[in-house]
Structure 1
Amino acid sequence: MELRQFLGALRARWVFSTVTFLVGAALTVATVFLMTPQYGSSVKLFVSTPSGGSAEYAASFIVTQRVASYAELATDPSVLQRVVDSLDLDMTREDLEGRVSASVITGTQTIELDVTAETPELAQQIAKAEAEEVVALVEQLERPALKDEEPAIAARIAAEPSISDQPVSPNIPLNLGIGLLISLFVAIVGALLRDLLDRTVKSRQDVEKISGHSVLVTLPYDPQVKKTPLATEVGGSLAEAFRVLRTNLQFADLDAERQAILVSSALPDEGKTLVATNLALTMAQSGRSVLLIDADMRNPNVAELLGLENSVGIVTVLVGRTSIEDATQPHVSGISFMGTGPAPPNPAEVLDTQAMRDLISRVRKEYDAVIIDAPPMLPVADASILMTEVDGALLLVRHGSTTREQLRLAVARIHAVGGRLFGTILNRTPRRSGDADGYGYGYGHGYGYGYAPTPVPEPTSSTRGRRIGRRVKR
């Protein structure tokens, strides 16, 4: 991983990293200050031979070889159990084992016993009892066969066990430093792992590489859009973003005098409804006649955004209860709007009819631009059906939400029915992201149905025929 990618991952996951570090720091502080202070006591045992002369010189070699064994035996379970019994300690032998250590001072015949306990007095008592038990153990092991002989090796306590009012643990500065460093390490590694394992789309380059089409505009996240979702109401960078999109669409289809554009997304809640609505408003500002159609019969939202009526629309026209003119409502912005009408039980079957194709064909001749807000591509087949009746599609991709596989599958479905993808729109990008163009906004709209990926349908001869028959020079 390059330094740029490393810093980018930390910046993208700064909330996770910060929270992880703060939680680790809080746990460190709580653990350190809630730890019971431990006091220490040490005592030295001198191991030697009581003999003199050459015997003493010879025995010194034996002492040197055995002193390590005596140090190891100092923590033998039997020795520790005798200490527990002699002091009537409120702990088990296993508990005491973690409090006693023995070591040989390098280059000497001295064993040092170190003991920790909750109070200085208890630490000193345990150290004294432990030393006495080791001395007794050495005496037992080195007892000569004959009563009149002196033992070849003896151990004795060099001085009284030490006592101190200063705790040996916890070492607050050291423990805090180590805990904070571990928390920082976990925060950084956790952020990098989350970034590596994250399969969502997070950059313009990702979208273009996976989809094979350019990103026409990136829309930075703006929480104010929930209150004022229409570009004509807020202006500024929001309106400028859609002017950029409008211009890019003109370059996407230079020969077209009239355009029919379908706006969809891979999944719900990626912002397609707001993009379709604002694109229509922006096109109307350029002097073009625009019809905005809400074809999302499962969850219509355009009428609510525009403050218009949705009780009449596509369904009422298709069943012959009203005409196209009567089902089309004017908006103060200058666009015309056609809602879904009453919710049908079978939206896909309603859209896949000759009557629906005739409706789209007629309005295409009457308006400079027809914008269709379609359901998302993956949950249902509605958008794939409508794809054969338009010039091209815009595909919404939500930053940090749409996965690479979902984007790939959505594009594949467009191509499977012979549809044309004008380009993609990366929505809800962080404002500090290098992928943002500095325009617009990001916002999603909820859906009432779930998502379950299904295999990409292969284009049939009938869908090819409908598309070929529809393409006529205008």
Structure 2
Amino acid sequence: MEETISLKELFETLKKRLWLIVSITIIAALASGIISYFFLTPIYQASTQILVNQTKNDQTLYNSNEVQTNLQLINTYNVIITSPAILDIVSKELDLNMTASQLKDKFTVASEKDSQVVNLSVQDSDPEVAAQIVNKTAEVFKRQIPSIMKVDNVSILAKADVTKNASPIKPQKKLNIAIAMVVGLMVGVGLAFLLEYFNNTIKNEQDIEKILELPILGVITTIDDEKIEELKMGKKTRKSTVRGETLGS
């Protein structure tokens, strides 16, 4: 026999396990908040921009072929920026005591499509250190690229600057809490239905019909202890009244 579940049964299950769903959601939100605010290290980001372009004099006209050459060089430059040839010098000049591989993990290098501008970003737990690393890397790259590529077509557009009230880019505490609440709610609802699915106890007449596949002919009502006591007291009162009437006659 194929079982069907009505919307009413679904809502009844949710209502019955509401405490479980709410508890799991609150616990997930609290756990995420505690971890985000007290255990995760804030990470700051500093960025600079590098322009890849040939130095021109006043008589030099715009050359589209030269622009295309610079655009093709950008992908090569993106690799060179985070190579040991640049980062080893950066680490040495800033006295970071870090390898090129460790420094590379802090970098993000990107460029817009058909743009000669390269965006260079560094993430670190200290905003000042992040700014120092990204500025020094841009400086070293500009200084070293003529000897590496035999061209002088790099200039720094903007340097990273540290503001007094710098905000970390991660962890995003409020977002983490919101995600944890959604996940907790989903887990709570799923667990509520799972517990209901594995609950084999017979709860009402409909469950008997489903299990035995037989119609119900009658139902025995349950009487709680208070009603039983009331009935006993009523019987005793009636007996006392009857005896009184008998003796009086």
TM-score (norm 1): 0.40
Q: How does 1:18-417 map to 2 (within 5 A)?
A: 18-34=22-38, 35-51=40-56, 53=60, 56-76=63-83, 79-89=86-96, 95-136=102-143, 138-143=145-150, 151=151, 154-164=153-163, 165-169=165-169, 170-196=171-197, 198-201=198-201, 203-204=203-204, 205-212=206-213, 214=216, 216-217=219-220, 234-236=225-227
Q: Compute the displacement of 1:72 (Å).
A: 4.5
| Structure-1 separation of matches of 2:64 and 2:18 | 70
Identity of aligned residues (%): 22
| Structure-1 separation of matches of 2:81 and 2:191 | 44
Q: Which runs of 5+ in 1 are unaligned?
A: 144-150, 221-230, 244-280, 286-474
| Structure-1 separation of matches of 2:149 and 2:87 | 20
Query: Taking structure 1 as reference, are residues 210 and 27 closer, same or farther at Cα in structure 2, changes over 3 Å only?
Result: same
| Structure-1 separation of matches of 2:143 and 2:84 | 15
Query: Taking structure 1 as reference, are residues 154 and 181 closer, same or farther at Cα in structure 2, changes over 3 Å only?
Result: same
Determine helix, strand or coil for the equivalent of 2:50. Answer: strand
TM-score (norm 2): 0.70
Report the AA paired with residue 40 of structure 1. Answer: Q
Report the AA paired with residue 187 of structure 1. Answer: G
Q: Compute the displacement of 1:140 (Å).
A: 4.0
Structure of greater Rg:
1
Q: C-alpha deviations, 1:57-96, integer Å up to 9, x for none?
A: 4221111222234234434466445544443336565554
| Structure-1 separation of matches of 2:138 and 2:122 | 11
Q: Which of the pair is proportionally richer in helix?
A: 2
Check conservation: 1:201, 1:207, Cα contact below 8 A.
no
Determine helix, strand or coil for the equivalent of 1:65. Answer: helix
Query: Taking structure 1 as reference, are residues 54 and 193 closer, same or farther at Cα in structure 2, changes over 3 Å only?
Result: farther
Determine helix, strand or coil for the equivalent of 2:52. Answer: strand
Q: Compute the displacement of 1:200 (Å).
A: 1.9
Q: Which runs of 5+ in 2 are unaligned?
A: 236-249
Query: Taking structure 1 as reference, are residues 212 and 178 closer, same or farther at Cα in structure 2, changes over 3 Å only?
Result: closer
| Structure-1 separation of matches of 2:85 and 2:196 | 55
Q: C-alpha deviations, 1:245-268, integer Å up to 9, x for none?
A: xxxxxxxxxxxxxxxxxxxxxxxx
| Structure-1 separation of matches of 2:30 and 2:99 | 33
Q: Compute the displacement of 1:218 (Å).
A: 7.1
- Number of residues paired by the alignment? 221
Q: Which has the higher contact order (CA 8 A, sep 6+)?
A: 2
Q: Compute the displacement of 1:13 (Å).
A: 2.1
Report the AA paired with residue 42 of structure 2. Answer: P
Check conservation: 1:49, 1:56, Cα contact below 8 A.
no
Query: Taking structure 1 as reference, are residues 92 and 7 closer, same or farther at Cα in structure 2, changes over 3 Å only?
Result: farther
Determine helix, strand or coil for the equivalent of 1:40. Answer: strand
Q: C-alpha deviations, 1:265-314, integer Å up to 9, x for none?
A: xxxxxxxxxxxxxxxx9xxx9xxxxxxxxxxxxxxxxxxxxxxxxxxxxx
Determine helix, strand or coil for the equivalent of 1:166. Answer: coil
